[in-house]
Amino acid sequence: MIRALVESAFETGCLSVESEGLIHQVLATRCYQSEDLAALSALYDAVRNGDIKREASPNRPMEFPALNKIH
């Protein structure tokens, strides 16, 4: 699921509020694979570099605690 959401963000150049929320839900249930975390890491880097825009408020940090395990 996470990889599909990340792929969509790369295709559109935008991470929607809904997609970001779904990513958080999947992470909270811990129903993800290592490939999902790799995709999520790429998404995080793309957002940080400005390659992908977030619909969410820029004042709200994009945090994915599961990424701490691979960074």
Confidence band (pLDDT; 50, 70, 90) for 71? very low
What's the CA gap between 37 and 60, in Å, rounded? 21
Q: Tens digits of per-residue pLDDT, 26-52?
A: 988 888 888 999 999 999 999 999 999
Average pLDDT value for the chain: 86
* Entry pTM: 0.81
67 near 41, Cβ under 8 Å?
A: yes
Which pLDDT belongs to residue 57? 75
Structure tokens at 56: 């969410």
Which pLDDT belongs to residue 46? 95
H-state helical runs in 1-71: 2-12, 17-29, 34-49
User: Which residues, other chains included, contact 52 with Cβ-Cβ below 8 Å and sequence gap of 6+?
Assistant: 9, 10, 13, 14, 15, 43, 46
Choice between 21 and 62, residue whose per-residue pLDDT is larger: 21
- Domain borders along the chain are 2-69
Provide the 3-class DSSP secondary structure of residue 17. Answer: helix
